[in-house]
Amino acid sequence: MVRSSPLLERLAENKEKILTIKKYSEEEYNKLIEDLTQAEEERIKVLEKIKETNSVDLQNLASELGIPEERVNYDVQYLKELGLLEPFGLVSKFYKSIENKNEIEGLFPNIAVIRDKKICSGCGLCASVCPTNSIHFENDALKIYDEVCIKCGLCYSGCPRSFFPKELKKIADNASADAKYLKQFNFYGEVFTAHTKDDAIKEVGQDGGIVTSLFKTSFEKDMVDAVLAVGVGMNAHEPLPLFVENEVDLLKTAGTRYANAHALRILHNGRKYKRLAIIGTACALEALQKISVYPLNKPFYDNITLKIGLFCMESFDYENILNIIHKEFPTRGVIDPYSIKKMDINKGRFYLYRDNNTSLELPLSKIKKYGRFGCFLCSDLTAGLCDISVGSIGSEPEWSTVITRSNKGTDLLQKSIDLNLVEKQPIEEDSKSFTSLSRIATSKLKLHEEIPRQVMKEQDPKERIQNFNEVPFGFTLEQAKLEAQRCMQCGNPLCVTGCPVKIDIPKFIRLIKQEKLSEAINHIKYFNLLPAICGRVCPQETQCEETCLLGAVDDPIAIGTLERFIADWEREGQTISCPECRDANGIKVGIIGSGPAGLTCAGELLMRGYDITVFEAFHAGGGVLVYGIPEFRLPKAIVKQEIETLKMIGGTIKYNMIIGKILTLDDLREMGFKAFFVGVGAGLPMFLRVPGLALNGVLTANEFLTRANLMKAYRFPEYDTPIKIGNEVCVIGGGNVAMDSARVALRLGAEKVYIVYRRSKKEMPARRAEYHHGKEEGIIFRFLTNPVEFIGDENGHVKQMKVIKMELGEPDDSGRRRPIPIEGSEYIIDVDTVIIAIGTRANPILTNSAPEIKLNKWGYIEADETGRTSVEDVWAGGDIVTGAATVISAMGAGKEAAEEIDEYLTQKYLGKEEN
Amino acid sequence: MPYKILEKRELGDSDILFEMVLETPLIAKKARAGHFVLIRINETGERIPLTVADYDREKGTITIVFQVVGKTTKLLSHQNIGNEILDVIGPLGNAIHVEKIEDPIVIVGGGVGIAPCYPQAKELKEAGNKIITIMGARNTGLLFWREKMRAVSDELIICTDDGTEGIKGVVTEPLKDIIKREKVAYVIAIGPLIMMKFVALTTNGSGDLPKVKTYISLNTIMIDGTGMCGGCRYPTLDGQIFHACVDGPDVDGHTVDFDQLLKRATRFLEEEKICLDAYDHACQALEKYKEENM
DSSP-assigned letters across all residues of A443-479:
HT---TTTSPPP---B--HHHHTT--S-SB----HHH
On the 0-12 / 13-18 / 19+ scale of CB atoms within 10 A, A523 is buried
Give residue-wise pLDDT tens across range B198-226: 999 999 998 889 999 999 999 888 899 88
Cβ contacts of B26 on chain A, cutoff 8 Å: 662-663
Cβ contacts of A619 on chain B, cutoff 8 Å: 40, 86-87, 89
Residue A545 dihedral angles phi and psi, to the nearest 5°: -75, -20
Whether A18 and A10 have beta carbons less than 8 Å apart is answered as no
Whether A120 and A161 have beta carbons less than 8 Å apart is answered as yes
Rounded Cα gap, residues A176 and A174, in angstroms: 6
Q: Residue A693: which of B26, B241, B274 has the nearest Cβ?
A: B241
Q: Pick the closest to residue A666 from A656, A652, A681, A676 (CA basis).
A: A676
β pairing state of A798-811 and A785-792 = antiparallel
Q: Which amino acid, residue B195?
A: M
Nearest-CA distance B88 → chain A (Å): 7
Count of Cβ atoms closer than 10 Å to residue A365 Cβ: 11
| Chain length of chain A | 915
CB contact under 8 A, A694 and B235: yes
H helical segments located in A386-431: 407-418
Task: Give the residue from chain A lying closest to B265, CA to CA.
Answer: A696
Share of chain A above pLDDT 70, in %: 97
CB contact under 8 A, A694 and B40: no
Which of 173-232 (B) contact A at CB < 8 A? 223-224, 226-231
Whether A252 and A333 have beta carbons less than 8 Å apart is answered as no
Whether A734 and A765 have beta carbons less than 8 Å apart is answered as yes
Rounded Cα gap, residues B221 and B101, in angstroms: 33
Lowest mean pLDDT among A160-169, A875-884, B187-196: A160-169
The pLDDT value recorded for residue A914 is 45
| Three-state SS at A34 | helix
Nearest-CA distance B91 → chain A (Å): 6
Q: Residue B231: which of A618, A691, A699 has the nearest Cβ?
A: A699
Give residue-wise pLDDT tens across range A748-757: 999 999 999 9
On the 0-12 / 13-18 / 19+ scale of CB atoms within 10 A, B185 is middle
Residue A748 dihedral angles phi and psi, to the nearest 5°: -85, 0
Cβ contacts of B239 on chain A, cutoff 8 Å: 691
For residue A271, pLDDT over 60 is answered with yes
The pLDDT value recorded for residue A915 is 44
CATH of domain B3-92: 2.40.30.10
My answer on whether omega of the bond before A579 falls inside 30° of 0, hence cis, is no
Nearest-CA distance A581 → chain B (Å): 27
CA-CA-CA-CA torsion sign (B27, B32, B38, B40) = positive
β pairing state of A780-782 and A752-756 = parallel
Q: Which amino acid, residue A525?
A: K
The pLDDT value recorded for residue B123 is 96
Mean pLDDT over all residues of chain A? 89
Which of 60-79 (B) contact A at CB < 8 A? 71-72
Rounded Cα gap, residues A55 and A68, in angstroms: 17
Residue A154 dihedral angles phi and psi, to the nearest 5°: -60, -35
Q: Pick the closest to residue B172 from B144, B195, B141, B204 (CA basis).
A: B195
The pLDDT value recorded for residue A170 is 72
Structure confidence at residue A331 as a pLDDT band (50, 70, 90): low
Nearest-CA distance B249 → chain A (Å): 15
Cβ contacts of B223 on chain A, cutoff 8 Å: 703, 706-707, 711, 721
Residues 6+ apart with CB under 8 A from A416: A213, A214, A216, A217, A422
On the 0-12 / 13-18 / 19+ scale of CB atoms within 10 A, A876 is buried
Which of 5-24 (B) contact A at CB < 8 A? none
Nearest-CA distance A743 → chain B (Å): 19
B264 contacts chain A (CB < 8 A): yes
Rounded Cα gap, residues A830 and A695, in angstroms: 14
Cα-only R_g, chain A:
32
CB contact under 8 A, B264 and A796: yes
Cα-only R_g, chain B:
19
Cβ contacts of A797 on chain B, cutoff 8 Å: 263
Give residue-wise pLDDT tens across range B99-143: 999 999 999 999 999 999 999 999 999 999 999 999 999 999 999
| Three-state SS at A347 | coil
Rounded Cα gap, residues B122 and B54, in angstroms: 9
Q: Residue B263: which of A706, A712, A795 has the nearest Cβ?
A: A795
For residue A602, pLDDT over 50 is answered with yes
B92 contacts chain A (CB < 8 A): yes
Q: Pick the closest to residue A106 from A85, A86, A76, A82 (CA basis).
A: A82
Rounded Cα gap, residues B233 and B217, in angstroms: 13
- Classify residue A709 by its DSSP letter: I
Give residue-wise pLDDT tens across range A687-708: 888 999 889 999 999 999 999 9
The pLDDT value recorded for residue B73 is 94
Task: Give the residue from chain A lying closest to B47, CA to CA.
Answer: A721
Nearest-CA distance B2 → chain A (Å): 10
For chain B, the structural domain boundaries read: 3-92, 105-217
Rounded Cα gap, residues A171 and A134, in angstroms: 32
Cβ contacts of A845 on chain B, cutoff 8 Å: 226-227, 246
CA-CA-CA-CA torsion sign (B217, B218, B223, B224) = negative
User: What average pLDDT does range A538-566 have in this prediction?
Assistant: 92
Residue A267: alpha-carbon gap to chain centroid:
32
Q: Which amino acid, residue A698?
A: V
Cβ contacts of B267 on chain A, cutoff 8 Å: 696, 724
HSE value, Cβ hemisphere, 13 Å, CA-based, for A888: 23
The pLDDT value recorded for residue A287 is 92
Structure confidence at residue A376 as a pLDDT band (50, 70, 90): confident
Cβ contacts of B220 on chain A, cutoff 8 Å: none
- Classify residue A706 by its DSSP letter: I
Task: Give the residue from chain B lying closest to A717, CA to CA.
Answer: B275
Give residue-wise pLDDT tens across range A76-118: 999 999 889 988 988 888 888 887 888 888 889 989 989 888 8
Cβ contacts of B234 on chain A, cutoff 8 Å: 694
Q: Residue B229: which of A687, A706, A720 has the nearest Cβ?
A: A706
Rounded Cα gap, residues A762 and A720, in angstroms: 40
B257 contacts chain A (CB < 8 A): yes
Count of Cβ atoms closer than 10 Å to residue A245 Cβ: 14
Rounded Cα gap, residues A551 and A545, in angstroms: 7
Q: Pick the closest to residue A888 from A638, A631, A595 (CA basis).
A: A595
Q: Which amino acid, residue A188?
A: Y
- Classify residue B96 by its DSSP letter: P
Structure confidence at residue B67 as a pLDDT band (50, 70, 90): very high
Mutate to test the interface with B, among A653, A656, A841 (most CBs of B within 10 A): A656
Q: Residue A694: which of B227, B260, B270 has the nearest Cβ?
A: B260
B3, B8, B13, B16: CA torsion to nearest 10: 20
Q: Residue A719: which of B44, B226, B228 has the nearest Cβ?
A: B44
CB contact under 8 A, B228 and A702: yes
- Which class in CATH covers the domain with range B105-217? alpha beta
The pLDDT value recorded for residue A5 is 87
Q: Pick the closest to residue B271 from B232, B221, B228, B200 (CA basis).
A: B221
Cβ contacts of B92 on chain A, cutoff 8 Å: 658, 661
Whether A310 and A279 have beta carbons less than 8 Å apart is answered as yes
- Classify residue A298 by its DSSP letter: T
DSSP string over A796-845: SBEEEEEEEEEEEEEE-TTSSEEEEE-TT--EEEE-SEEEE-S-EE---H
The pLDDT value recorded for residue A1 is 44
Rounded Cα gap, residues A441 and A613, in angstroms: 53
Q: Which amino acid, residue A867?
A: G
A195-208 exposure pattern, b = at least 16 Cβ within 10 A, e = fewer: bbbbeebbebbbbb
Rounded Cα gap, residues A134 and A129, in angstroms: 10
CB contact under 8 A, A720 and B72: yes
Task: Give the residue from chain A lying closest to B95, CA to CA.
Answer: A661
Lowest mean pLDDT among A213-222, A255-264, B213-222: A255-264
Rounded Cα gap, residues A562 and A616, in angstroms: 31
Q: Which amino acid, residue B17?
A: L
Q: Which residues pair with B179 in a beta bridge?
A: none
User: What average pLDDT does range A651-680 have in this prediction?
Assistant: 96
The pLDDT value recorded for residue A75 is 92
Helix H or strand E encompassing A397: none
Cβ contacts of A654 on chain B, cutoff 8 Å: 1
CB contact under 8 A, B264 and A658: no
Whether A632 and A745 have beta carbons less than 8 Å apart is answered as no
Residue A67 dihedral angles phi and psi, to the nearest 5°: -115, 140
User: What average pLDDT does range A909-914 have in this prediction?
Assistant: 65
Give residue-wise pLDDT tens across range B12-36: 888 899 999 999 999 999 999 999 9
CB contact under 8 A, A717 and B278: yes
Mutate to test the interface with B, among A624, A627, A662 (most CBs of B within 10 A): A662
Nearest-CA distance B29 → chain A (Å): 8
Task: Give the residue from chain A lying closest to B73, CA to CA.
Answer: A720
CB contact under 8 A, A724 and B267: yes
User: Nearest 5°: CA angle at A170, between A164 and A172?
Assistant: 135
A interface with B, Cβ–Cβ below 8 Å: 617-619, 654-656, 658, 661-663, 683-685, 687, 691, 693-694, 696, 699-700, 702-703, 706-707, 711-712, 716-722, 724, 795-797, 843-845
**Alpha-carbon distance values, A157 to A543, A645, B65, B71 (Å):** 30, 55, 81, 74
Give residue-wise pLDDT tens across range A342-356: 777 777 788 877 777
Give residue-wise pLDDT tens across range A793-850: 998 999 999 999 999 988 888 777 889 999 999 999 999 999 999 999 998 899 999 9
My answer on whether omega of the bond before A299 falls inside 30° of 0, hence cis, is yes
- Classify residue B169 by its DSSP letter: S
For residue B170, pLDDT over 50 is answered with yes
Q: At what angle do helices A736-747 and A768-776 cross, to 10 degrees?
A: 30
CB contact under 8 A, B44 and A658: no
CB contact under 8 A, A711 and B26: no
For residue A583, pLDDT over 90 is answered with no
Cβ contacts of A724 on chain B, cutoff 8 Å: 267-268, 270-271
Task: Enter the pTM of the model.
Answer: 0.84
